[in-house]
């Protein structure tokens, strides 16, 4: 239970800051699209060139093996409670529309997005952005992963 309370307070702090920033971003939409594409492409080039495969595998394995499922469930629950559907919809739409296909072609970036994205359950995706979420899942080859809590409740 102590782990849950630690992650809950940290998640609330991060989400409150993120929500306040995303509400102000609609002012800069045309410039944001251009800048985001250029910045994302630069980040992809840096990751492809300078980040070794072993480092990415280490972090993904740490997420899969060392982070307790309760911590992941707490983060998911906090996102569901604190981030409004409108903000989640705009984030998913932005990710679907702004991220160029060249990013999806990057093996390392796709691996990281798929490694983290598999923990996002469909219950936190707003219904109006299900099509965009399925596009993102196809673009980055994100598998569907059932959380251990849901598997235990079903008796699997």
Residue 154: per-residue pLDDT: 46
Residue 151: per-residue pLDDT: 45
Residue 101: per-residue pLDDT: 78
Residue 14: per-residue pLDDT: 62
Tokens of 91: 């984030």
Tokens of 83: 């981030």
Residue 123: per-residue pLDDT: 87
Which residues of the chain, if any, have pLDDT below 70?
A: 1-33, 36, 146-156
Q: Provide the whole-model pTM.
A: 0.66
Owner of token pair 């409108």: 86
């Amino acid at each position: 239970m102590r782990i849950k309370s630690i992650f809950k307070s940290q998640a609330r702090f991060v989400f409150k800051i993120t929500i306040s920033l995303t509400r102000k971003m609609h002012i800069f939409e045309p410039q944001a699209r251009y800048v985001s594409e250029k910045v994302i492409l630069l980040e992809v080039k840096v990751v492809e060139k300078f980040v070794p495969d072993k480092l990415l595998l280490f972090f993904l394995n740490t997420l899969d093996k060392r982070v307790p499922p309760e911590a992941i469930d707490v983060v998911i629950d906090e996102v569901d409670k604190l981030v409004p559907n409108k903000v989640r919809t705009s984030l998913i739409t932005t990710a679907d529309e702004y991220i160029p296909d060249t990013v999806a072609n990057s093996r390392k970036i796709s691996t990281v997005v798929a490694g983290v994205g598999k923990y996002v359950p469909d219950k936190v995706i707003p219904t109006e952005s299900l099509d965009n979420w399925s596009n993102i899942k196809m673009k980055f080859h994100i598998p569907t992963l059932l959380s251990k809590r849901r598997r235990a409740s079903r008796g699997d």
